[in-house]
Amino acid sequence: MSQRKGHLRLGAFLYPTGHHIAAWRHPDSPADAGRDFRHYVQLAQAAESAKFDLIFLADGSGTRGDNVEFLSRTAHSYVAQFEPLTLLSALAAVTEKIGLVGTASTTFNEPYHIARKFASLDHISGGRAGWNLVTSSSAHEAKNFNFDEHLAHARRYERAVEFAEVVEGLWDSWDEDAFVRDKAAGRYFDPAKRHVLDHRGEFFKVRGPLNVERSPQGRPVVVQAGSSEAGRALAARTAEVIFTAQQTLTDAVAFYADVKGRMAQYGREPEDLKIMPGVMPIVGATQAEAQEKFEELQALIDPTVGLALVSTLTGGFDLSGYPLDGPIPELPETNASKSRQSLTLELARRENLTIRELYLRVAGARGHWQLVGTPAQIADALEERFVHYGADGYNVMPALLPNSLDDFIRLVLPELRRRGLFRSEYEGRTLRENLGLRRPVPRYQREAVTQ
Amino acid sequence: MSQRKGHLRLGAFLYPTGHHIAAWRHPDSPADAGRDFRHYVQLAQAAESAKFDLIFLADGSGTRGDNVEFLSRTAHSYVAQFEPLTLLSALAAVTEKIGLVGTASTTFNEPYHIARKFASLDHISGGRAGWNLVTSSSAHEAKNFNFDEHLAHARRYERAVEFAEVVEGLWDSWDEDAFVRDKAAGRYFDPAKRHVLDHRGEFFKVRGPLNVERSPQGRPVVVQAGSSEAGRALAARTAEVIFTAQQTLTDAVAFYADVKGRMAQYGREPEDLKIMPGVMPIVGATQAEAQEKFEELQALIDPTVGLALVSTLTGGFDLSGYPLDGPIPELPETNASKSRQSLTLELARRENLTIRELYLRVAGARGHWQLVGTPAQIADALEERFVHYGADGYNVMPALLPNSLDDFIRLVLPELRRRGLFRSEYEGRTLRENLGLRRPVPRYQREAVTQ
Q: What is the pLDDT of residues A127-183, one digit of tens each?
A: 999 999 999 888 889 999 998 877 788 899 999 999 999 999 999 999 999 999 999
Mutate one of B57, B72, B106 to test the A interface: name it (highest A CB count within 10 A): B72
Q: Please give, rounded to a whole number of angstroms, the shortest distance from the CA of B106 to a CA of chain A.
A: 13
Instruction: Check CB contact of A74 with chain B, cutoff 8 Å.
Output: yes
Does a cis peptide bond (omega within 30 degrees of 0) precede residue B375? Answer: no
| Residue A21 amino acid letter | I
Residue B421 CB contacts under 8 Å (≥ 6 apart), including other chains: B7, B8, B379, B382, B383, B386
Lowest-pLDDT choice from A297-301, A349-353, A378-382: A349-353
Is the CB of B72 less than 8 angstroms away from the CB of A31?
A: no
**For residue A91, which phi and psi values (nearest 5 degrees)?**
-70, -25
Q: Of chain B residues 285-304, which have a CB less than 8 A from chain A? A: 300, 302, 304
Q: Which runs of consecutive H residues, i.e. helices, occur in B302-436?
A: 303-313, 338-350, 355-362, 375-387, 403-407, 413-418, 431-435
Range of A140-154, B72-86, B179-193 with top mean pLDDT: B179-193
Nearest by CB to A31, from B32, B183, B304: name it: B183
Cβ contacts of B302 on chain A, cutoff 8 Å: 186
Cβ contact B32–A179 (<8 Å): yes
How many C-beta atoms surround the C-beta of residue B350 within 10 A? 8
| Beta strands at A129-134 and A221-224: parallel, antiparallel or unpaired | parallel
State how far the Cα of A54 lies from the Cα of A14, in Å rounded to an integer.
10
Question: Is B124's CB within 8 Å of A211's CB?
Answer: no
Q: With 60 as the cut, is the pLDDT of residue B334 above it?
A: no
| Predicted TM-score of the model (pTM) | 0.95
> pLDDT class for A109, splitting at 50, 70, 90?
very high
| Closest-approach residue (CA) in chain B for A178 | B72
In the predicted structure, residue B367 carries a pLDDT above the cut 90? no
φ, ψ of residue A131 to 5 degrees: the values are -110, 115
Tell me the H-state helices in B333-408.
338-350, 355-362, 375-387, 403-407
In B72-217, alpha helices (H): 84-92, 111-124, 139-142, 153-171
> DSSP string spanning B39-99?
HHHHHHHHHHHTT-SEEEE---SS-S-S-HHHHTT-S-SSSS---HHHHHHHHHTT-SSSE
Q: What is the pLDDT of residue A34?
A: 92
- CA angle B432/B436/B441 to nearest 5° reads 60
Comparing A6-15, A246-255, A436-445, B320-329, the range with the smallest average pLDDT is B320-329
Burial of residue A249 (CB within 10 Å: 0-12, 13-18, 19+) is middle
Put simply, the answer to whether B146 touches A204 (Cβ < 8 Å) is: yes
Question: Which residues of A are less than 8 Å from B140 in CB distance?
Answer: 207
Do residue A116 and residue B73 have CB atoms under 8 angstroms apart? Answer: no
Beta-carbon contacts of residue B162 (< 8 Å; ≥ 6 apart): B201, B202, B203, B204
- pLDDT for B451: 45
Instruction: Please say whether the beta carbons of A51 and B82 come within 8 A.
Output: no
**Would you call A224 an interface residue with chain B, using a CB distance cutoff of 8 Å?**
no
Cα–Cα distance, B276 to B278 (Å, whole number): 7
Supply the ipTM of this predicted assembly.
0.95
Q: What pLDDT is recorded for position A451? A: 45
Read off the amino acid at residue B226: G
Cis ω before B191 (30° cut-off from 0): no
Residue A191 to residues A180, A196, B25, Cα–Cα distance (Å): 10, 11, 18
pLDDT at B448: 66
Half-sphere exposure of A235 (CA within 13 A, CB side): 29
- Cα gap A277→B69, rounded to integer Å: 49
Rounded CA separation B132/B101 (Å)? 6
CB count within 10 Å of CB A346 equals: 10
Neighbours of A351 (CB within 10 A): 10
Cβ of B191 within 8 Å of Cβ of A72? The answer is yes
**Closest listed residue to residue A244, CA positions, set A55, A98, A394:** A394
Residue window 388-447, chain B: list those with CB within 8 Å of chain A.
Answer: none
Please check the confidence at residue B29 and state whether its pLDDT lies above 50.
Answer: yes
For residue A28, give the chain B residue with the closest CA.
B183
Is B205 an interface residue toward A (CB < 8 Å)?
yes
Phi, psi of A370, rounded to the nearest 5 degrees? -120, 145
Comparing C-alpha atoms, which of B329, B370, B369 is closest to residue B353? B329
Per-residue pLDDT band for B3 (boundaries 50, 70, 90) equals confident
- Are the beta carbons of A191 and B34 separated by less than 8 Å? no
With an 8 Å Cβ cutoff, is B121 touching chain A?
yes
| CA within 13 Å, CB half, A442 | 20
Q: Does pLDDT of A278 surpass 90?
A: yes
**Which comes out higher in pLDDT, residue B248 or A311?**
B248
